[in-house]
Amino acid sequence: MSNAPRLIDPFARAITYLRVSVTDRCDFRCVYCMAEHMTFLPKKELLTLEELDRMCSTFIGLGVEKLRITGGEPLMRRGIMTFFNNMSRHLDSGALKELTLTTNGSQLDRFATDLYAAGVRRVNVSLDTLDTDKFARVTRWGRLDQVLRGIDAAREAGLRIKINTVALKGFNEDELFDLTEWCAREAMDLTFIEVMPMGDLGNEDRIGQYWSLKDLRGDLAMRYTLTDLTERTGGPARYVRLEETRQKIGFITPLTHNFCESCNRVRMTCTGDLFMCLGQEDNASLRDVMRAHPEDDGPLIAAIEEAISHKPKGHDFDYSRQRADGQVSRHMSHTGG
């Protein structure tokens, strides 16, 4: 299969980055991601590991160069290392430039060595606080010591770690410098993310949670010298270097600064629904097309290309009128973190 980019959206953006959710299940219940009492999908609706392989391989044949595995918690999926090991053949061929994942870190102690052996070199770990009690509160079910052990195991295995922290007003504002200095000591990159209006807002006040990263950056600038970087990693983050610590800090700002003009990614759910934009409801169901043609990828390729032709210019997230405009109904765990 040729790896020349074939997926070009209506705004001349080449789609080279696919984020794939392999499960909607998770061992945490983070307040901005999931309801406390979730109803999970029946197994028959999920793509099998073989179907995930076929789907991802088809995208790679269409020019996708970066594959990020997400969930739920991807390492909760039974047999998931079989999938990672199979995907490593695309790294070996050169068609895939990066295979990585986003995780809550709870299972890294078990899987870090195997992930490295499969060709994974970088892992994003979602971590919003270093306070044990606050961690239990924001994750509802989580254990901070288990996550920290996982991070240590990943680093020992040779994986590069980036910490993803959702900026939550009134929750982790007072830990801004603690988190920054901890990452600097441990030689880990750090990216802050604005909370997005996704899922059932009945239990969580997204407006009350929203901490603008413009304000967060201003707080950092009171202690550090910030230098803007031109670096891009294929995702939505913009980066600065803190001159005093020489570390890289990223900002993902869907509300403060819309990053859609350079979007090169699409997201596929564990049920085979392709979302062309995180902040829009439009999607294309690829599972049924694939299952209807078990020996022929042609219809699947046509369905993917048709979906990309409808990729929107950007999302509609907006808190400026003190309401969660652009809210989408699905939980973040359904689309993939």
pLDDT digits (tens, 9 = 90+) for 185-221: 999 999 999 986 644 544 455 566 788 999 999 999 9
Say whether pLDDT at 330 is over 50: no
Give the amino acid at 14: A
Say whether pLDDT at 249 is over 60: yes
Binding residues for GTP: 19, 68, 102, 162, 265-267
pLDDT value, residue 201: 44
Decide: pTM greater than 0.75.
yes
Binding residues for S-adenosyl-L-methionine: 32, 72, 126, 196
pLDDT value, residue 322: 45
Q: Residue 130 CA to chain centroid, in angstroms?
A: 21
Which residues sit opposite 192 in a β-bridge?
165, 251
Give the amino acid at 68: R
Q: Where are the alpha helices (DSSP H) in the chain?
A: 49-61, 80-93, 108-117, 132-139, 144-157, 176-185, 206-209, 213-221, 287-292, 298-308, 332-335
CB-based contacts of 210, cutoff 8 Å, min separation 6? 169, 194, 195, 255, 319
Mean pLDDT estimate for the chain: 88
Cβ(195)–Cβ(239) below 8 Å = no
pLDDT value, residue 195: 84
Where is pLDDT greater, at 36 or 157? 157
Looking at residues 285-296, what average pLDDT do you find?
A: 97
CA angle 31, 36, 41 (to 5 degrees): 110
Looking at residues 220-240, what average pLDDT do you find?
A: 87
Binding residues: 19, 26, 30, 32-33, 68, 72, 102, 126, 162, 196, 260, 263, 265-267, 277
Say whether pLDDT at 316 is over 60: no
The fraction of the chain above a pLDDT of 70, given in percent, is 83
Burial class (CB in 10 A: 0-12, 13-18, 19+), 246: exposed
pLDDT value, residue 210: 85
Token look-up 């006040």 returns: 205
Where is pLDDT greater, at 48 or 322? 48
Region of poorest pLDDT, from 232-241, 289-298, 322-331: 322-331
Written as six digits, the tokens of 327 are 């809210």
pLDDT value, residue 197: 62
Say whether pLDDT at 259 is over 60: no
Written as six digits, the tokens of 227 are 């230098």
pLDDT value, residue 198: 47
Say whether pLDDT at 252 is over 50: yes
pLDDT value, residue 260: 63
CATH of 17-335 among 3.40.50.620, 3.20.20.70, 3.30.565.10, 3.40.50.2300: 3.20.20.70
Region of poorest pLDDT, from 65-79, 91-105, 196-210: 196-210
CB atoms within 10 A of CB 324: 19
Looking at residues 255-261, what average pLDDT do you find?
A: 57
Binding residues for [4Fe-4S] cluster: 26, 30, 33, 260, 263, 277
pLDDT value, residue 337: 54
Looking at residues 227-244, what average pLDDT do you find?
A: 85
Region of poorest pLDDT, from 32-41, 46-55, 266-275, 326-335: 326-335
- Tell me how far apart the alpha carbons of residues 58 and 95 are, in angstroms, rounded to a whole number: 11
Looking at residues 107-130, what average pLDDT do you find?
A: 98
Res. 146 pLDDT band, cuts 50 70 90: very high
Res. 70 pLDDT band, cuts 50 70 90: very high
Where is pLDDT greater, at 266 or 196? 266
